[in-house]
Structure 1
Amino acid sequence: MNENKKQSATCRILVILLGVLVMLFGLALLVGGIRLVQLGGSVYFLLMGAASLLAGVLVAARRPAGALVYGVAFVATAVWAVADAGLEFWPLVSRLVMPAVLALLVALAWPALRRARGVPAGRGAYGVAALLLVGLLATAVSAFQPRPVVTAQGQRPAVVPVAKGSEQRDWMHWGNTTGGTRFAALDQITPDNVDQLQVAWTAHTGDVPQSDGFGAEDQVTPLQIGQTLYVCTPHNQVIAMDVDSGKQRWSFDPKATAPNWQRCRGLGYFDASLPIAGVPTVAAAVAAPAPAPPAPALAAAPPAPALCEKRILMTSIDARLFALDAATGAACPDFGVNGVVDLKVGMGEIKPGFYTLTAAPLVAGELVIVGGRVADNIEVGEPSGVVRAYNVRSGALAWVWDLSKETPDVPLDPSIHYTRATPNVWTSMAYDPQLGLVYLPTGNTTPDQWAGERTPQDDKYSSAVVALDVATGKERWVYQTVHHDLWDYDLPAQPTLTDVPDGKGGTLPALLQITKAGQVFMLNRATGQPITEVRDIQAPQGHADGERYSPTQRLSVGLPQIGAQTLTESDMWGATPIDQMLCRIQFKGFRYDGMFTPPGEDLALQWPGSLGGMNWGSASVDPTTGYLFVNDMRLGLWTKLIPRAQMTTGAGGVEMGAASQTGTPYGSLRDRFLSKLGIPCQKPPFGTLSAINLATHQLVWQVPVGTVKDTGPMGIKMRLPIPIGMPTLGGSLATQSGLLFFAGTQDYYLRAYDSRSGKEVWKARMPVGSQGTPITYVSPTTGRQYVVISAGGARQSPDRGDYVIAYALPAAH
């Protein structure tokens, strides 16, 4: 008897606790729902909140009606969820899982509620509970299954074997070619055997990047020439390694320092023994036979190469340009002053951290061409965005492009400084040796969100692709992607040069430019004219005092736009309905008129955000299939202009948070559009890989990339490989065997995809995440094909390392 009383008391307490839980759920939805309705949003949350609050009160009072009220509310929720979100998995999870868990508990409490009223319990509720449990378990299992956004349809292109003797020999440039293809004509590793890849060797650089996101980051793409691999570290140390073992051959430390933004994305390479003229085009490079290796010496060993006949070029975070002997790491004495050119010359005052170089220098024939990163949003009058070309042998200045001048290609008197605060080229450039053109993807004049003081020259060259004659630096053409850019939609990626079908049986020389705004522009790289349709749209106008606004903006509608849809309230997401509701409240509280919503003194939503869309990792292309591969991140921002009188003095301006914008009428405030749990407020995926057919201009496939295994709400690792798709940062590598390698996710994996279908066919766990781009090569000694990646830590991860990891198929015995 006493035992039965104890069980009854326990059951009563549990029912009351359940009622309180449902009440709290309902109260949160009711309070938030009222606010959402006031903002003109969905009435669902108010109604569900009221119903849940009533149900919770009744359940706590041990009245069966409470279960009935909640049951009806749950059924209505399911109907609303499908009407609001369709049949997409992750949006339905956000809307239904938490209510379903509560429904399951209420169903289990039904017999106790009936008994409390002296009514027979009945068994039907257990059947309902069982159905809900099965549904929840099925949802949990389904959450681990990959879901393509776009599935490849129809017949896949056939794999074109690499012709004997035309295999790629070296990875000589940041993008493999000066055209930024990130494509390797190698096929030893294939979709059929990639699952046999294993770690061949691991090396350590000794430079572990400790960062909060704006300090040191490992983002390098290595170079490989012959038997040597070259990497640079966040603090500009250069290390040469054996390609088969990772064993260090030499290292060079320039003792470079900068207060922030320490990173080295890549190196340049020059070989004086190679012919400069007649370099094959990007397309021809696939089929053109490589030169035969020299015959082995039969008698005396050949003489040692001259010092610096082959040289490594590097720009540094403290604005220097180095030339190093590729064989020894010694500074080249004939270059600049003891192997160094001071890039601060002609720049005027440079405050610490205001001018850094992080992109790989472009080696174009006998020139090495450099731009530079200028600090964003701190003040007007920051250092110049000048682009300079130096003789790769002597370091002598060949030409400058100071774009504020009427003739920007005329070198200035040494006593005159380059024009301050002009648009810059902070990312990597491309070069077409047959056309003799260098392509500059430009940024915009700082600050990003106020442009009232920009000059006509600033407005002409900001966020544009500019083609210069490589010999003289004279402008050939310019194509702007964003007019009067107020969103930091500068061009972050190296242009990709390839040839595309002209629809008449021939080809056109194309330049593919991806943007932070999720656009892919296809231009004729000889003329700068669009090959695919670009539409001028009417742009929303702002009201900031003293600002001007472009009446139109450009959208590249002839190619797929990646993650650039106009958001609606129904696109809001969250781990729970409460989280989702709070994101809806944020969304409805913003001023939002689509992609080009201008900043103002109120809160404005920017989507895509200034991080992307696509970023510096750039695209890759497979010329044998005509597929372009891009990866993106989907992170919106909210922005606000702060009148100068209200601006806190001393505010910085790196990327997020308060920015001083000193010298303008406004400071600014911006941050990522995240939920209270630190999750992006819009529905997943938050990052994808996409393949675009350059002949049909259609999206072939698109897949989420990355899991929440090494991240999660409020920075807590979920440790679950749920493939929701995470923001990406880094580049991809395409191979002629039909593989696409990628590592720039928030989890710690290098992955391989079938490039024709988007199916993940292999992944390898790394000690930490990576922001680098993988490369591949075949060892000239062993004949093994390696895939190499630098792993220093994912962007938002506290886990850091200094790894360079090589993967290969098992060695033949």
Structure 2
Amino acid sequence: MKRILYLFTVLILLIAASWMPPVKDIYLSWPTFAGTNDGIRYSSGDQINKSNVSKLKVLWTYETGDKTNKTTIPTTPIMIDGVLYGVTPRLNLFALDAATGVEKWIFKPLDSTARGSIRGISYWQNKNGSDKRIFYSTGPFLYAVNAANGKSITSFGKGGFIDLRENLDVDFPNSSVAGNAAPTIYKNLLITGMRVSEGSDAVPGHIRAFDVITGERKWIFHTIPHPGEPGYETWEDKDAWKRVGGANNWAGMALDVKRGIVYVPTGSASPDFYGANRKGSNLYANSLLALDANTGKYIWHFQVVHHDLWDRDLPANPNLVRVRKDGKWVDAVAQITKHGYIFMFDRVTGKPIFPINEVPVPASDLPGEEAWPTQPIPTLPEPFARQKFTVDEISKRSPEINAQLRTEFSKYRGGQEFIPPSFQGGIIFPGFDGGGEWGGSAVDPQTQIMYISTTELPWWTQMVPNPALNKISGKTFKEVGKSVYAKYCVTCHGPELKGDGKAFPSLVGLNKKYNEQQLRQILDNGRNMMPSFRQIIEGEKAPLITYLLDLEDKEAMPVRPGAAPSPERDIAPLYTMNGYHRFYDKDGFPGITPPWGTLNAVNLNTGKLLWKVPLGEFEELKKQGFPNSGTEIYGGPVVTKGGIVFVAGTQDEKIRAFDKANGKLLWEGQLPAAGFATPAVYSINGKQYVVIAAGGGKLGMRSGGNYVAFGLDR
């Protein structure tokens, strides 16, 4: 009788289970820019696997229709409940049927002239699903949009948006501020950082939380501490908090929902490269912060670079992982860096998972500069990028090229890490764009293996006396404009306006492309990777335009003579960098032995680098007998339960699939333009999709305006 009763009970339970709604697997949708709040870019879908990935084909293509020359799309779209949300090159927000690519709606922001770089967007809904919202920024404006119909939610903030230049405890109405990363959403809080200027005029990059319903500010964490706050003592100038900017989060965050902790990586303090006006270690710049997500209260931090002189911002969101250490499971947070290291900490205590040593580094001989005497170097995990660029690493594509590069190399200081900026100039390696970059890393939670795409390219930099400090009394309008150019523009475009090849365009002959009104719009709103320079007061902007467009003196008259400048923070440094320069050979290829771009796998339990394979190639070099060179990479990987690592981001305009166990190339697909972004991978009714934004537009590449979905035809 008992056996019959037992079998009957089991039968009832099985029947009941069959009527229960299926449990949603968070790793089958793609609800945040990094897949989930833990930021690991993992998909548990396994329809696409090693046995069939070679059969992938294009399932649909969404043409945004608004690409122009030099536009790009660095956005990773999100997918919730069968709807895909993304951003066009002109920063319009859209919604698609995620299975078919058919457009549902499109939202155009109020500031239709805004340009810039949006890497991610955010989604929130209330408990019963009656209120669903998308949050994203164009320039300084953070919008709330109805996810169902694409209409502005006018009850949020100032009629549908909040201005990120406000509610910083001091407002900066004319400052360069942009919300390029996806805000992190915890309960009813919208936690956000922002992109700011990297010059001496930068505003502080404080972290804030806003109410998702009203837009009201709920808390603020001062990344440049105010008097009485922890970290204030790390600034020798006790008034630094009044005038130093930066220490901002532009790369995104990770969220431990269960513990209510948000992990925030920050960038360098301003200005970059010369720190005489910001002596000290400069907390909380270049730090990983653990904050109480409810209140913004400090929990712990670790500073990855002290007194940064190399633009070593923390470039990507952290990954929340679970690792096996000393026979026990530890909830950890892992942070990749531009210089090719992985720093790992206990999520709760901030204690390093592996020892981190403070290593002596070279002193500065630049007048007024005091480089920090040591820098933290983790013993493990092993670095995922080469750390030193020596003569032996110079490209050997031909004896002529090797000789040319040796001559160039001999001009600069090199061969070690953390070489301070100097009048002689020095090699930065890995270069300013990584090592690790904003595309982020992926982690398989089943194996604790991290996958990182990285660029291994040296750059060089040199310091010069700041031309902007020249006295301007008695000078013509155009001569004043030249000094303003030296203050704001010379770092990227060079002292002779010629730029740096593919990365930073030449401004020579700008008057043949733009009139005064068009140039004003670009300066105010930014364009692609160029930030807004709205903070330039009219007394400087009009002379700058006169100089750039080679106008007759005083032809570019002020349009807002009464405009008030931002609060005085702009103490021009004595010395400035003379521009960003990749170390290229005469043919425009990297001057280091390949590979120049790689995909890497690191075991987070042991800290060991498992494998490294080239990522991308140049057809021209392939024909010359140099295949698998790798290319510069802008975009990160995604790893799946099906055994695949998907990654694009290369200059050869392809997306690839690798065997996650050994790095073997399994498939590659051609894109209509380079996929300088990180893919989104999701499943709908058992069918798996891989979607990449094909925006191109960097490094001299053609621009594109498409999102492309790959999958199996069944």
| Common topology (TM > 0.5) | yes
Secondary structure class of the residue paired with 1:199: strand
Distance in 2 between residues matched to 1:351 and 1:686, nearest whole Å? 42
Worse-superposed segment, 755-764 or 360-369? 360-369
Normalized per residue, the structure richer in helix is 1
Aligned residue number for residue 678 of structure 1: 588
Aligned residue number for residue 689 of structure 2: 786
Aligned residue number for residue 168 of structure 1: 27
Please report how far the alpha carbon of residue 654 of structure 1 lies from its aligned counterpart in structure 2 after TM superposition.
Answer: 8.0
Instruction: State the percentage of identical aligned residues.
Output: 33
TM-score when scaled to structure 1?
A: 0.70
Tell me, which stretches of 5 or more residues in structure 2 are unaligned? Answer: 1-21, 231-240, 470-481, 498-569
Q: Report the AA paired with residue 375 of structure 1.
A: S
Aligned residue number for residue 47 of structure 1: none
Please report how far the alpha carbon of residue 422 of structure 1 lies from its aligned counterpart in structure 2 after TM superposition.
Answer: 3.9
Distance in 1 between residues matched to 2:329 and 2:263, nearest whole Å? 20
1:694 equivalenced with 2:604 (yes/no): yes
Distance in 2 between residues matched to 1:501 and 1:446, nearest whole Å? 39
1:258-657 aligned at under 5 Å gives the runs 262-273=116-127, 306=130, 309-317=131-139, 319-346=140-167, 354-377=176-199, 380-403=200-223, 404-406=225-227, 421-454=245-278, 456=280, 459-504=282-327, 506-592=328-414, 594-644=416-466, 649=483, 650-651=485-486, 652-653=488-489, 656-657=492-493
Change (3 A) 1:206 1:327: same
Contact 2:66–2:705 (Cα < 8 Å) also in 1? yes
Contact 1:658–1:668 (Cα < 8 Å) also in 2? no
Contact 1:621–1:627 (Cα < 8 Å) also in 2? yes
TM-score when scaled to structure 2?
A: 0.79
Distance in 2 between residues matched to 1:339 and 1:418, nearest whole Å? 31
Distance in 2 between residues matched to 1:208 and 1:495, nearest whole Å? 31
Aligned residue number for residue 52 of structure 2: 193
Please report how far the alpha carbon of residue 366 of structure 1 lies from its aligned counterpart in structure 2 after TM superposition.
Answer: 1.6
Normalized per residue, the structure richer in strand is 2
Give the counterpart of 2:635 among 705, 730, 733.
Answer: 730
CA deviation vs aligned residue, 1:656-697 (integer Å, no higher than 9, x gap): 454899711112113111112211111101110000011221
Secondary structure class of the residue paired with 2:384: coil
Change (3 A) 1:720 1:334: farther
Change (3 A) 1:440 1:601: same
Contact 1:517–1:614 (Cα < 8 Å) also in 2? yes
Distance in 1 between residues matched to 2:679 and 2:149, nearest whole Å? 25
Please report how far the alpha carbon of residue 420 of structure 1 lies from its aligned counterpart in structure 2 after TM superposition.
Answer: 5.3
Change (3 A) 1:186 1:645: closer
Aligned residue number for residue 747 of structure 1: 652
Worse-superposed segment, 191-200 or 638-647? 638-647
Distance in 2 between residues matched to 1:635 and 1:594, nearest whole Å? 15
Contact 1:595–1:608 (Cα < 8 Å) also in 2? no
Distance in 1 between residues matched to 2:292 and 2:385, nearest whole Å? 34
Q: Report the AA paired with residue 183 of structure 1.
A: Y
Contact 2:697–2:704 (Cα < 8 Å) also in 1? no
Distance in 1 between residues matched to 2:490 and 2:207, nearest whole Å? 22
Please report how far the alpha carbon of residue 461 of structure 1 lies from its aligned counterpart in structure 2 after TM superposition.
Answer: 1.1
Secondary structure class of the residue paired with 1:460: coil
Contact 1:628–1:693 (Cα < 8 Å) also in 2? yes
Distance in 2 between residues matched to 1:586 and 1:394, nearest whole Å? 57
RMSD: 2.5
Contact 2:133–2:146 (Cα < 8 Å) also in 1? yes
Count of residues in correspondence between the two structures = 593
Secondary structure class of the residue paired with 2:276: coil
CA deviation vs aligned residue, 1:45-75 (integer Å, no higher than 9, x gap): xxxxxxxxxxxxxxxxxxxxxxxxxxxxxxx
Tell me, which stretches of 5 or more residues in structure 1 are unaligned? Answer: 1-162, 275-304, 410-416
Worse-superposed segment, 385-394 or 348-357? 348-357
Q: Report the AA paired with residue 244 of structure 1.
A: A
Please report how far the alpha carbon of residue 217 of structure 1 lies from its aligned counterpart in structure 2 after TM superposition.
Answer: 2.4
Secondary structure class of the residue paired with 1:762: strand
1:15-54 aligned at under 5 Å gives the runs none
1:231 equivalenced with 2:86 (yes/no): yes
1:221 equivalenced with 2:39 (yes/no): no
Secondary structure class of the residue paired with 1:589: coil
Q: Report the AA paired with residue 267 of structure 2.
A: G
Aligned residue number for residue 135 of structure 1: none
Secondary structure class of the residue paired with 2:462: strand
